[in-house]
A and B are shown apart, each in its own frame.
Chain A
């Protein structure tokens, strides 16, 4: 089994090139990442955080860094994501970013490749990169850091606003042998600044390949950040992603993680409410069939008083799919008047589908309102009978109910073309699931 040693030898072979890419402090960070990953190794099922998710299939394959690949044309991107004509688009092909020339940016806003940012605005990046990401615990983030070369840097300075949504498209063009990418997204939203960011993970098809992404989001005082991540990887892909958001006072933050593709998917979504009066929304939607495995681990940390967090994760599992939801909410002793609500609802479309849902509330303040709920089931019989009694065939009625269930999350998206695109994708997913059942 290649395991950790394989990554180390890949790193050693690449090191001269890595060292040359960007300032010295970045390379120190890479070395630190590699050390941490080497020390932690791949997780085992004995670890609480990985109890239901077996990463052995990833450890068993020998992934080579994905090669540079020609640009992917716009039509392919639209076909695999959504009609993003109104967006500022940044495309990463096999982890390398390219911002199409000629897109005018608003004043006080910098959007571009992280590799460029490291050389051209190293100090700005240094102020935020890897701040708060706990490499001592987050082994895959540590691995990402070890291979950190490119990604996207979005720097929206104080009082600036980006009207158009920023669409970051990660395209993997797989090779003959298994490949990996370690993309890094760094978003810094200054005071009173506003932006919305969509991350799409897609492929031109094929595999296996391994996407190991880290997204760092920082929201300044009274800023607004709307974030959405949509994962549509190949059925043979492994997708591990760590998202770390740090929010300052009176900011408004919403994040949605949609997971549709991939053989093995693990999302860690951490949201740190590090100021007062924050409004945070953390949503998720996962659709899985076949033998897909989708693990969502969320962590919401209320570190200051008077904040509100609302979390809604919904899942639809078919065939032999397996879902894991672990929702941890941690309320510090000083975080009085916290209002936190969490819900995880899941529909199982087959007897062989399974979900492990685990809410974890750790509350150390005494004047708070925290609730959680989980509902797991099949489609509601009452609703099904109601629709059928109006002439709608059983299977159509079931699909309609599942569609409606999923749309509660999709409907919240404020970026209209993305919302419409996802509505259609949920619908198509149901059609395919139905066709697969025969």
Chain B
């Protein structure tokens, strides 16, 4: 589904991604683990189309088609979803309105009929129950004044509603206590499907106890330096990145 080939990206002449190669098939869960500042989050943002980063070399192919030239909203409608490490607060925009606008933008681009308020409400209520999200959520401004856990659950809620093919989850466990982590992880696990690929970016192994990956990559200094099965995560936790990176 996703193929990243020799991807290089920089910001103001500072090279951050230095030749990333990654292939993710539908139905798989990949974990990308690496130390702080290694460029993991940059990779996530570049995948979603953030234009603060210049892609200087390489390719990103989604379902056989390059998405490098596509705007973030076009990537979203093609099924790319980034769960943000720091979900942005947007005062004055109600969560309800935001989600409905996003869903209908995506549906429209996919040639599907747009949801009216009733259909939307029905859809959202089901998903909110699953994620143990209070209904008052919908009338609050997007992420404004949300706790760390609420923000992350809101990300997963968006993911559940937009039904993407490729989910990139950037440090979804950061700022979560163990209970919130369980809720978020079960939300993600509920979204596992043979048609969907999930890339989990994290620097702790903890999350991977709850979202069990098929493949683990070690990401150091702008590249993937090692790839293995889920046991690689445990090895990393025990030995540290320096050791594994050799």
The number of A-B residue pairs with CB atoms under 8 Å apart is 76
Contact with B along A367-394 (1 / 0, CB 8 A): 0000000000000111101111111111
**Is there contact, CB below 8 Å, between B102 and A390?**
yes
Complex Cα gap A151–B174 (Å): 62
Enumerate chain A interface residues (CB-CB to B < 8 A). 380-383, 385-394, 396-397, 400-401, 403-408, 411
Contact A392 B73 (CB under 8 A): yes
CB <8 Å contact, A404 and B73: no
Contact A388 B93 (CB under 8 A): no
Whole-angstrom distance between the alpha carbons of A389 and B141 in the complex?
Answer: 18
- Inter-chain contact A404/B90, CB cutoff 8 Å: yes
- B90 x A385 contact (CB < 8 A): no
Given contacts A382-B88, A388-B72, A390-B158, contact A404 B105 (CB under 8 A): no
Contact present for B93 and A389 (CB under 8 Å)? no
- The reply to whether A385 and B72 form a contact with Cβ atoms under 8 Å apart is yes
Interface: B48 (CB within 8 A): yes
CB pair B77–A391 under 8 Å, yes or no, is: yes
State whether the Cβ of B82 lies closer than 8 Å to any Cβ in chain A. Answer: yes
> What are the residues of chain A within 8 A of B91 when measuring CB–CB?
404, 408
A387 to B73 CA separation, bound complex (whole angstroms) = 8
Are A400 and B76 closer than 8 Å at their CB atoms? no
| Residue of A385, A390, A403 touching B92 (CB-CB under 8 A) | A403
Residue of A nearest to B106 (CB): A391
Q: A403 to chain B: which residues have CB within 8 Å? A: 92-93
Contact B50 A385 (CB under 8 A): yes
- A406 / chain B contacts, CB cutoff of 8 Å: 92
Q: A389-B82, A403-B92 are contacts. A394–B71 as well, Cβ < 8 Å?
A: yes
Q: How far is the CA of A95 from the CA of B93 in the complex (A)?
A: 40
- The B152-178 residues at the A interface (CB cut-off 8 A) are 158, 162
B105 touches A392 (CB 8 A): yes
B105's partner among A380, A383, A386, A391 (CB-CB below 8 A) is A391
B residues near A404, Cβ cutoff 8 Å: 90-93, 141
B90 near A401: Cβ-Cβ < 8 Å: yes
With A385-B50, A386-B84 known as contacts, the answer to whether A392 contacts B102 (CB < 8 A) is yes
On whether A389 and B77 interact (CB within 8 A), knowing A382-B88, A407-B92, the answer reads: no
Q: B144: shortest Cβ distance to chain A, in Å?
A: 10
Are B48 and A389 in contact (CB-based, < 8 A)?
A: yes
Taking CB atoms, residues of chain B closer than 8 Å to A394 are 71, 73
